[in-house]
Amino acid sequence: MTPNAEITPAELKARLDAGPPIDVLDVREEWEHALGALPGARLIPMDELPRHLDELSRERELVVYCHHGIRSAAAVEWLRRQAIPALSLLGGIDAWAAEIDPGLPRY
């Protein structure tokens, strides 16, 4: 794992492939999620996170992503203050599409 509570696309892919399951959270807007999302990702737009905090596990690691990683880094900082073990996907779904799944649309 890289510093600053981040995980690279390659690290996330390896962990998803190896199991056990990791919770994945998309903090983008609905229209962005509709363009493409990581497999099994749950959508909670960033501004709605406080209303859904009690739905997130404090026992399982949570990987959070957005478009380029800016929103997810801010969300992870807030989630960690709420005792949620969260990591931000470095480079967001754009990096995932570039490095792991070129079939995902880039925008």
Active site residues: 66
Helix or strand or coil: residue 71?
A: helix
End-to-end CA distance of the chain: 27
Nearest of 9, 5, 7 to residue 76 by alpha carbon: 5
CA distance 56 to 102: 29
